[in-house]
Structure 1
Amino acid sequence: MTDHARAAAALLRDSGQFKWYVIPLLLVVIYVYATEVERRNWNVFFAGLALWGMDWFNEIWNSLVFHATGRAPVWGTSGPTAYQILIGLNIEICFMFAIMGVAAAKMLPPKETRILGLPNRPVLIAVNSAAAVCVEVLLNKAGVLTWDWSWWHAGVPYLIWLLGYVPFFIACFWVYDLPSVRSKALAVGAILGIDALGLIVFGALGWL
């Protein structure tokens, strides 16, 4: 096991790490979604949940990589946190991704708008994912986000871009563009349902 993984594992679900700032951060997330509910802006509401759900999916398989290899997760968070939920997910990251999808969806132009002559959705998926990778590189350099595998690091950012973020924004924009509230709710329910099933099953097995 790498030193980074050992440090992250030592923090896993340790309630002694709790910090009071979690409460106002939670209220910020609730306020963000409550605002969209108040406005009946279901496109943004469900798009935000879709991206958040995709992050949970990634965090589950990342934890399974750690369990299977016994060496390290693909990414880990071993820095200070108010609560370490999974090996690569702390409460601060969880809240951040809950808001990220809302922010990305609110900036979407109409579907027919083109960017440099190209359909805007693929362009924005690529650009938003690249921006997120840049932030990850900075977090890695700060020592709070760790990478211990030779195929997942700043010098080879392609997998971080392709697996780490492109699916997030694909799901976010796809749900945003679905034609009805019912279809959006079903899509998000499927994503979160798979996440919940994974957390229950793999958690019960002690693999997370």
Structure 2
Amino acid sequence: MTPASRQALEGLRDLTTLKWYVIPLLACIFYIYTLEMKKARATGNWNVVFAGLTVFGMDFINETWNGWVLVFTGRSAFWTAPGETALRTMVGWNIEIMFMFAISGIIYANTISEDRNEKILGIPNWWFWAIGYSGFCVFVEVLLNMGGHLVWEYPFWHRTFKGVWLIFLFGYLHFYVAALLVIGMRTYRAKVITVASLYGIAIVANIFGIGVMGWTY
């Protein structure tokens, strides 16, 4: 097991590491969602809320399979976040990352045009912003990697041309693609079922891995 993996496992889900700044950050997340829910009740359009929940649900799944990689390889996950944090929830996930992804879908949904056919530089705006935000996330992740806050072990998931494209496609783009697909669905029921399924997959996978098999990731 790599040094970064061993370090990421230290204090995993240890509530004694919690910091007070988590409380106001959590309050900000609640404020953002309650504000969007208030708007949704007034307009009947819940797409912003669905987008927020979708992106976070996709990240929940991503971090789950990333932890499974550590378990199956016995060496490292694709990415680990071994640095200081108020709470490390998985080897590649911490409370600060969770807060960011909790609102990133809301940011995306508030950026796109209500007219999905509107184009920017010849690209449908929903896709343009999905690509744009994914690219920005990769840029930030590269900076975090350079600073040693986010560690990549495998050569195919690294700061190479092919590696960056892999991170772009499977680290971020599919989050926003999932969001645009969900908010593009015609019925409220379909959106609810899809979003609930994302969380169902992640929860069941973690119950099996952590609760049943006793895996640590």
Query: What TM bracket, shorter-length normalisation?
Result: over 0.9
In structure 2, how many angstroms separate the alpha carbons of the residues matched to 1:16 and 1:153?
32
> What SS does the aligned partner of 1:85 have?
strand
The corresponding residue for 2:72 is 68
> What SS does the aligned partner of 2:193 have?
helix
State yes or no: 1:179 paired with 2:183.
Answer: no
> What SS does the aligned partner of 1:44 have?
helix
Q: Kindly indicate whether the alpha-carbon contact (under 8 Å) linking 1:129 and 1:165 is maintained by their aligned counterparts in 2.
A: yes
The corresponding residue for 1:111 is 116
Deviation for aligned residue 1:134: 0.3
Aligned to 2:59, which of 48, 55, 60? 55
State yes or no: 1:148 paired with 2:153.
Answer: yes
The two structures have a TM-score, normalised by structure 1, of 0.96
Q: Kindly indicate whether the alpha-carbon contact (under 8 Å) linking 2:108 and 2:129 is maintained by their aligned counterparts in 1.
A: no
Give deviations 1:158-207, integer Å, cap 9, x for gaps. Answer: 11011101110011111122223222211111111111111111111122
> What SS does the aligned partner of 1:150 have?
coil
In structure 2, how many angstroms separate the alpha carbons of the residues matched to 1:88 and 1:30?
24
Amino acid at match of 1:34: T
Deviation for aligned residue 1:123: 2.5
Moved more, 112-121 or 194-203: 112-121
The corresponding residue for 2:166 is 159
Give deviations 1:53-94, integer Å, cap 9, x for gaps. Answer: 000000000000000111111001111101110110001101
Q: Kindly indicate whether the alpha-carbon contact (under 8 Å) linking 2:82 and 2:149 is maintained by their aligned counterparts in 1.
A: yes
Amino acid at match of 1:36: E
> What SS does the aligned partner of 1:31 have?
helix
Moved more, 198-207 or 68-77: 198-207
> Any unmatched runs of 5+ in structure 2?
none
> What SS does the aligned partner of 1:37 have?
helix
> Any unmatched runs of 5+ in structure 1?
none
Give deviations 1:85-143, integer Å, cap 9, x for gaps. Answer: 01100011011100111101110112010122232233222222111100100111121
Amino acid at match of 2:187: S
**For this pair of structures, how many residues does the alignment match?**
208
Matches within 5 A, 1:90-129: 90-109=94-113, 110-129=115-134
Amino acid at match of 1:133: V
The corresponding residue for 2:8 is 8
Deviation for aligned residue 1:43: 0.4
> What SS does the aligned partner of 1:128 have?
helix
Aligned-CA RMSD value: 1.2
Moved more, 93-102 or 14-23: 14-23
